Amino acid sequence: MTRKAAIIGGGVIGGGWAARFLLNGWDVGVFDPDPQAERKIAAVLANARLALPALSDVPMPPEGKLTFHGTIGEAVDGADYVQESVSERIDLKHKVYAQLQQSNPDVLIGSSTSGFKASDLQKSAVSPENIIVAHPFNPVYLLPLSEISGSPANPPEVVERTVQIMKDVGMFPLVVRHEIDAFIGNRFLEAVWREALWMLKDGVATTTEIDEAIRMGFGLRWGQMGLFETYRIAGGEAGMRHFMAQFGPTLKWPWSKLTDVPDFNEELVELVAGQSDAQSGMYGIRELERIRDQNLVGFLRSLKERNWGAGKVLRAHDEARAAAFNAAMASGIDTGAKAAPLVMWQGQVLPGWIDYNGHMTESRYLFACSETVDNFLRLIGAGMDYVAAGHSFYTAETHIRHLGEAKLGDQLRGEVQIISADEKRFRSFVRILKGDACVATVEQLCLHVDMGAGKSVPAAPEVWRNLKAVADAHSGLPLPEGAGRAVGQKKD
């Protein structure tokens, strides 16, 4: 059953939440009195559709339904969860919560607030226990962190439910141990921001120079290891104790002005805004967002390949969705209901997949086929556990035909049809499709092998039972066009 999230406030953060939930298969109802809300969310969603699927190596769920509503009550009707992202005015938030809880008394409300504590948000609420902080970072549809901060009014089950919802949409819920203004991330960022403003005001550095110091240096380390793990390495073989002994005394040196704040006046605003315009003004905001997203996708995929940092969250989310996907497919095998080619892979053409012509390069068609067949093997019980036990299917022959073009950002899917099978082998036909158009076909013969003995042997009974069920279901399908063709063979 499709779940529904209500998004109250459709600005940059609210739009990012809408995209995060929609692309993870939730229906989304939005309330925002801004007459430009639909246009703004459409722009955020367009960027999200390009970026978020590029992080996934398993099929994305069907996109949820997006609706806009004229009242809070209409938006929250039937919602399983609410994400509030209105302006940082406590009176406005209290008014919104009152309307939400009047319309849907038991609904769980997460706030995107950047600084208000949950106990502040809960004041005068009918059901304070159902209001909690779920603070994200921009862009919400790509960055996984969500700081979960409750108060004594929130029972453990409410915190746990919030954590699970965040995990369901691929977030990393970080539960804050104690209530504190601005939580963890923003307190850290506030210190950096204050010091940066002082350096600007004192003429020590420009906005460009400060940003270069971050992105050319420690920012690259923080993205993968954070602060303390980075400094642990800086201590050498002796680790953190040596680092603290070496650099601890500098804490008393007058390096920073963290205890002081520059006067916030028009002069400071003009100084910062003028330098920022000179630094980035040649790019539009949407262009900057796309550049940011493409870079983040590259960083995050690199971390995902190494199962490190935020990459762990992406991999775990893939594994959870893959398990659900495979379970659904396995159910179809058990009931004999899959008398059609099986959709076993979905993906997006990534920047690294493109050749000098701007098309998906040849190797990536084989990669798409490999992912399709690998998912099929996992489906029938011949996944990595089976391989670890000493048995596997080896590809003996492959014939690929390139029938169409795939370009950057195109959404592809892989369908597999089993043409024939016995206990020692199967012949598969994979179609790589872009919408309804077939861009490539890959025909393969795979042999079942005892890896220790180095020879073909019958598959395990359970694997053969599952393979035979699919082969039997596909036996009545027409032979695919192009099956059995030789390289260069003329068409009839």
Q: What is the pLDDT of residue 58?
A: 74
Report the percent of the chain where pLDDT is more than 90.
68
| C-alpha torsion sign, points 248, 250, 253, 258 | negative
Token duo for residue 311: 């990459």
81: β partners: 5, 108
* Residues ≥6 apart with Cβ < 8 Å to 353: 360, 361, 364, 408
For 469, the 3-state DSSP assignment is helix
The answer on pLDDT for 409 being more than 90 is no
Q: What is the mean pLDDT of residues 306-326?
A: 86
Is residue 330 pLDDT above 70, yes or no?
Answer: no
- Other Cβ atoms within 10 Å of 118 Cβ, number: 22
Whether residue 336 has pLDDT greater than 60 = no
- For residue 467, the surrounding DSSP H or E stretch is helix 461-474
Is the pLDDT confidence value at 169 over 60?
yes
pLDDT at 332: 55
Q: Which residue has the higher pLDDT, 261 or 340?
A: 340
> What domains appear along the chain, each with residue ranges and CATH number?
4-175 (3.40.50.720), 185-282 (1.10.1040.10), 336-474 (3.10.129.10)
Residue-wise pLDDT for 281-302, tens only, equals: 888 888 888 889 888 988 998 9
Confidence of residue 335 (pLDDT cuts 50, 70, 90): very low
**Angle made by CA atoms 59, 61, 381, in degrees to the nearest 5:** 45
Please report how the helices 310-335 and 362-379 are oriented relative to each other, as an axis angle in degrees rounded to 10.
60
pLDDT for residue 164: 98
Q: Are 446 and 373 in contact (CB under 8 A)?
A: yes
String of DSSP letters for 185-244: HHHHHHHHHHHHHHHHHTTS--HHHHHHHIIIIIHHHHHHHTTHHHHHHHTGGGTHHHHH
Average pLDDT of the chain, as a whole number: 91
- In this prediction, residue 414 carries a pLDDT of 93
Pick 107 or 264 by higher pLDDT: 107
pLDDT digits (tens, 9 = 90+) for 466-475: 999 999 999 9
Decide: 141 and 48 in contact? Cβ < 8 Å. Answer: yes
pLDDT digits (tens, 9 = 90+) for 65-93: 999 999 999 999 999 999 999 999 999 99
Q: Is the pLDDT of residue 326 over 90?
A: no
pTM of the complete model beyond 0.85:
no
Whether the per-residue pLDDT at 459 is higher than 50: the answer is yes
Per-residue pLDDT tens digits for 174-210 = 999 999 999 999 999 999 999 999 999 999 999 999 9
Q: Any idea how long the chain is?
A: 492
Mean pLDDT of 126-151: 97
**What pLDDT does residue 201 have?**
92
Q: Convert the pLDDT of each residue in 14-69 to its tens digit.
A: 999 999 999 999 999 999 999 999 999 999 999 999 899 888 877 688 899 999 99
Q: Confidence class of residue 417 from pLDDT cuts 50, 70 and 90?
A: very high
For residue 359, give the 3-state DSSP assignment: strand
> In which band, very low, low, confident or very high, does the pLDDT at 337 lie, cut at 50, 70 and 90?
very low
